[in-house]
Amino acid sequence: MSKPVVAIVGRPNVGKSTLFNVLAGEMISIVKDTPGVTRDRIYADVTWLDKEFTMIDTGGIEPESKDIILAQMREQAQIAIDTADVIIFITDVRQGLVDADSKVADMLRRSGKPVVLAVNKVDSFEKFMPDVYEFYNLGIGDPVPVSAASRLGIGDMLDAVIAHFPEHEAEEKEDERPRVAIVGKPNVGKSSIINKLTGKQRVIVSDIAGTTRDAIDTNVKYNGKDYVFIDTAGLRRKSKIKEELERYSIIRTVTAVERADVVLVVIDATEGVTEQDAKIAGIAHERGKGIIIVVNKWDAIEKNDKTMKEYENNVRRVLSFMPYAEIMYVSAETGQRLNKLYDMIDMVIENQTLRVATGVLNEIMTEAVAMQQPPSDKGKRLKLYYITQVAVKPPSFVIFVNNKELMHFSYTRYLENKIREAFGFRGTALKFFIRERK
């Protein structure tokens, strides 16, 4: 289930971060304990009505001089064009229409991407509406008056955004090839892996209308089966500013991961696993994607019979939030074990789409409860009535209980382990929702 990506573009000070925080702060569910999720607000998951999307804020740090504003806006607009399904272009009614707005609007119009034009700081409709009409001159459709600060017009703006979303069901049925994103820090060997996997059959399909993406999609046939690799390394952006590069690489990772079924998180064996790796892996984890940790450059390190175990311990420690992830040790240089990746990808996808019958789940839960008493608090004990699987990709379960407050994280984890003991579910996160039933 890949969610649409919505990007916010606009000049400095028009209210991009304010709008982003309004949407993110109130509507996202932040997954705790995942590195990078709460710290940076470059992206967020938003739900509006029954639609979910991933929102990205392309606006980076404040430019130091006026003359680089336009250059930076073009850069942001290009990122949005490359990665988003819908673009929210924000302008400022108080500053009025300025030349940079027109230039960026031209760029957006030429891209053919759906654009929603938001005119911000319309804190009073009576007072400011006459000034809103001026923005029709941009030639990118009806301006939607909003006030991010006073939270006015946000609903209308979101309605306009989701009206542009593709029909989900139809799109997914068309293409059943497994989609595999390759992510990781620079220089870990992402390009080398994709080059080795694809050999000479590399076909770039990203120019097909409507699918133009920043990431380059490559179709690979293996054992008569097609796979699509989403490569975040293919294109590199030049920017002298470190923060901008980081922002860009996070946006790239989020949008590639969003479109994938399985994510290969590539780690450099010569460097070991780092916090930055954890941040990247966290993006795939929090989106419930299938995950394979690929320790690359395995040829380049000195090994003895303990090396692999030591590596695994390190990976498990730094990436402790995803104990379910598979680990593989490969070399893009020599090709060692690369072909095994396909079997692993197949297995992870199978697990992501596995459905367990309700009867069997309840047997497991009953047995688990008998073996370890549920927690209690102030004389009240947790009762578990019923468990059922409600979704796949990732497999998601609802547990009905007498009192939600009594359900500790550790007991959910215990039940998760019991379910994993029975069915494996290797390579995929499981989600649990706790509901009360009196």
How big is the site for ligand GDP, counted in residues (CB under 6 A)?
32
CB 145 → ligand GDP: shortest distance, Å? Answer: 10
Distances (CA, A) of 315 to 74, 294, 351, 396: 39, 11, 22, 25
> From edge to edge, which strands make up the β-sheet containing 225-231?
216-222, 225-231, 179-183, 262-268, 290-296, 326-329
Contact between 76 and 9 under an 8 Å Cβ cutoff? The reply is yes
Contact between 121 and ligand GDP per CB under 6 A: yes
52, 156, 271, 299: residue in contact with ligand GDP (rule CB under 6 A) = 299
CB 67 → ligand GDP: shortest distance, Å? Answer: 17
CB 76 → ligand GDP: shortest distance, Å? Answer: 11
Contact between 9 and ligand GDP per CB under 6 A: no
Contact between 249 and ligand GDP per CB under 6 A: no
Identify the residue whose tokens are 């409600």.
390
For the chain, first and last CA: distance in Å?
Answer: 33
234 is in an annotated binding site: yes
Please list, in sequence order, all residues whose beta carbon lies within 8 angstroms of the beta carbon of residue 418, skipping any fewer than 6 positions away. 364, 365, 367, 368
CB 351 → ligand GDP: shortest distance, Å? Answer: 26
72, 120, 255, 428: residue in contact with ligand GDP (rule CB under 6 A) = 120
195 is in an annotated binding site: no
Contact between 3 and ligand GDP per CB under 6 A: no
Per-residue interface string for the shown chain with ligand GDP, residues 332-361, x marking contact by CB under 6 A: xx----------------------------
Contact between 16 and ligand GDP per CB under 6 A: yes
55, 117, 132, 148: residue in contact with ligand GDP (rule CB under 6 A) = 148
Site for ligand GDP in 60-89 (CB under 6 A): none
55 forms beta bridges with 6, 44
401 is in an annotated binding site: no
340 is in an annotated binding site: no
Return the number of the residue (191 or 314) whose C-beta is nearest ligand GDP: 191
Q: Of 78-86, 181-189, 343-351, 388-396, which part binds ligand GDP (CB under 6 A)? A: 181-189
Contact between 123 and ligand GDP per CB under 6 A: yes
Nearest to 30 by CA among 286, 247, 282: 286
Contact between 18 and ligand GDP per CB under 6 A: yes
The three-point CA angle 91-142-52 to 5° equals 80
Question: Using alpha carbons only, how large is the chain's radius of gyration in Å?
Answer: 24
6, 14, 73, 260: residue in contact with ligand GDP (rule CB under 6 A) = 14
Contact between 279 and ligand GDP per CB under 6 A: no
Please list, in sequence order, all residues whose beta carbon lies within 8 angstroms of the beta carbon of residue 363, skipping any fewer than 6 positions away. none
381 forms beta bridges with 376
Nearest to 12 by CA among 62, 68, 81, 48: 62
Contact between 252 and ligand GDP per CB under 6 A: no
Nearest to 15 by CA among 141, 157, 139, 113: 157
Nearest to 216 by CA among 197, 196, 230, 236: 230
Cα distance between residue 256 and residue 253, in whole Å: 5
In this structure, what are the phi and psi dihedrals at residue 323, rounded to the nearest 5 degrees?
-65, -20
Beta strands (DSSP E) in 63-133 are: 86-92, 115-120
Contact between 312 and ligand GDP per CB under 6 A: no
Return the number of the residue (114 or 153) whose C-beta is nearest ligand GDP: 153
35, 59, 114, 282: residue in contact with ligand GDP (rule CB under 6 A) = 59
Contact between 274 and ligand GDP per CB under 6 A: no
Q: Of 115-123, 311-319, 371-379, 417-425, which part binds ligand GDP (CB under 6 A)? A: 115-123
Contact between 192 and ligand GDP per CB under 6 A: yes
233 is in an annotated binding site: yes
DSSP category for residue 57: E
Cα distance between residue 362 and residue 397, in whole Å: 11
Q: Which residues bind ligand GDP (CB under 6 A)?
A: 10, 12-18, 59, 120-121, 123, 147-150, 184, 186-192, 233, 296-297, 299-300, 331-333
Which residues are part of a known binding site? 10-17, 57-61, 120-123, 184-191, 231-235, 296-299
Which residues are part of a known binding site for GTP? 10-17, 57-61, 120-123, 184-191, 231-235, 296-299
